[in-house]
Amino acid sequence: MMNFLVENKWAILVSLEVLAWSSTFFLLYARYGLKSDFWFKVATVLVVITGVIPQVSMGLINFIATKTIDLFTLIIVLLIIYGFTIGKKHIKKLDTWAQRKFSN
């Protein structure tokens, strides 16, 4: 199983990023479009499940398997740093956009 994850790490990472961003858009739609607390909570869980947790897991699995900090591990670290720094500003802008878009 670990070999499969390491061999397909880039495809898995891209897929996880697509899922995480899709979950983020769904979260904003649930919040402003549907105005549903239930679906907002579901979307929040989806964002966590498809975003930070699997990315950190993939980075750890890759590091354990290769025992080196390679480009993949570096990309994971950069994605996490982005998420906790300037990514927050981007999400706030996206939130403001979604609020305007769905309030009409």
Say if residues 76 and 55 touch (Cβ distance below 8 Å).
Answer: yes
**Residue 3 contacts by C-beta under 8 Å, 6 or more apart in sequence?**
65
- Containing structural domain, residue 7: 2-102
Q: What is the per-residue pLDDT for 2?
A: 83
d(CA 26, CA 87): 18
DSSP state of 58: H
* Mean pLDDT within 77-92: 91
Q: CA separation (Å) from 56 to 5, 35, 49, 73, 92? A: 13, 31, 11, 9, 23
pTM (predicted TM-score) = 0.81
* Mean pLDDT within 72-97: 92
Q: What is the per-residue pLDDT for 98?
A: 93
How many domains is the chain built from?
1
| pLDDT tens readout for residues 1-44 | 888 999 999 999 999 989 999 999 999 999 999 999 999 999 99
The mean predicted confidence, pLDDT, of the chain is 92
